[in-house]
Amino acid sequence: MVESPFGRAGRFWRGNLHAHSDRSDGALSPREVVGRYREAGYDFVAVTDHFRARHGFPLTDTRSFRTPEFTTLLGAELHPPRTEFASEWHLLAVGLPLDFRPPEPDEDGPGLARRARAAGAFVGLAHPAASLLTAADAATVDAAHAVEVYNALSAREDRGDSWHLTDVLLNRGHRLGAFAADDAHFQPQDPPACAAWVWVRAESRTPEALSAALKAGHYYASTGPELHDVRLSEGWLTVRCSPVRKIVISGGVPGAIVQRGEALTEWRAPVAMFRDRHFRVTVEDAAGRRAWSNPLLPGQYT
């Protein structure tokens, strides 16, 4: 579980943590990828090209595209061998140094994730549902900060949502956050970009401040709605958000607490059913777009 971002100093900054350029298998140059997100009103983007031998192990340098109003984080999608059902891992590492070395011949997924985290990166399990990552595979990655619980590109094959695996891992004691991302490649057959993102709470939009906030869990994920506050006090959870049609509290036990209505912006509910298990907030707006808090535990916030 991670700390709540709500009520902290600073403000929320909108960013995409997962995108690809023509340095690997994307259709656009790094400059064009950055430009797409800047023009869409984002505050930052990470161009995370596939760190594979056939692409020359690119760690795409986007520092020259930073401006006072927009910044970039450096990163890559790492692919050491292998998982139970796939020939390679999909590990997102945001905040890597430019001299990060390619995998060693005997370096596996958990080992490379540890090296990326030690180098200063925010490490995420990328699109586990689309990659058919098993709970046994995922449990070996002890360096992960978070799971990509929604991947907009994978949603086209009905494998965009990875909350089931995340809940299993959390119930087994793993401390993980939850982020959403585009995984944009900008290919003609791809869904439109700017469909899933994170709101990161930090005092500035500098790469250093954003990276620190991500690793501390000071963010939430969204495909549209905004969470204004998620606060637990004396066994009651208060949610404040942009207008939505549904608010759900679910997590580490079967079942959920659900409130439906028109243009809901605030709701208060008891969370005794979760006892010592994790739970999270999901809100859904009239268009079916969702936002998710990071998982939390009863008694964690007062």
Give me the pLDDT at residue 227, please.
98
- Identify the CATH assignment for 11-222 out of 3.20.20.140, 3.40.1390.10, 3.40.50.1170, 2.40.30.10: 3.20.20.140
Q: Are 48 and 78 in contact (CB under 8 A)?
A: no
Give me the pLDDT at residue 111, please.
98
CATH of domain 227-292: 2.60.40
Q: 255 phi and psi, to 5 degrees?
A: 90, 175
Chain centre distance of CA 97? 20
Give me the pLDDT at residue 112, please.
98
Give me the pLDDT at residue 300, please.
59
Give me the pLDDT at residue 276, please.
87
Rounded CA separation 261/147 (Å): 30
Mean pLDDT by 10 residues, the chain (302 residues): 82 98 98 98 98 98 98 98 98 98 96 98 98 98 98 97 98 96 97 97 98 97 98 93 98 97 97 93 98 85 43
Q: Are 79 and 57 in contact (CB under 8 A)?
A: no
- In DSSP terms, which residues pair with 237 in a beta bridge? 232, 269
Give me the pLDDT at residue 302, please.
40
Give me the pLDDT at residue 234, please.
87
Q: According to CATH, where is 3.20.20.140 located in the chain?
A: 11-222
> For 263, left (φ over 0), alpha (ψ -120 to 50), or beta?
left
Q: According to CATH, where is 2.60.40 located in the chain?
A: 227-292
Q: DSSP string spanning the chain?
A: -----TT-SSEEEEEE--B--TTTT-SS-HHHHHHHHHHTT-SEEEE--EE-GGGT------GGG-BTTBEEEEEEEE--S--SSSSS--EEEES--TTPPPPPTT--HHHHHHHHHHTT-EEEE--HHHHT--HHHHHT-TT--EEEEEETTGGGGT--B-HHHHHHHHHTT---EEEEE--B---TTSPPSSS-EEEEEESS-SHHHHHHHHHHT-EEEESS--EEEEEEETTEEEEEEEEEEEEEEEESSSSEEEEEEEEEEEEEEE-GGGTTS-EEEEEE-TTS-EEEPPPB-TTS--
Give me the pLDDT at residue 250, please.
98
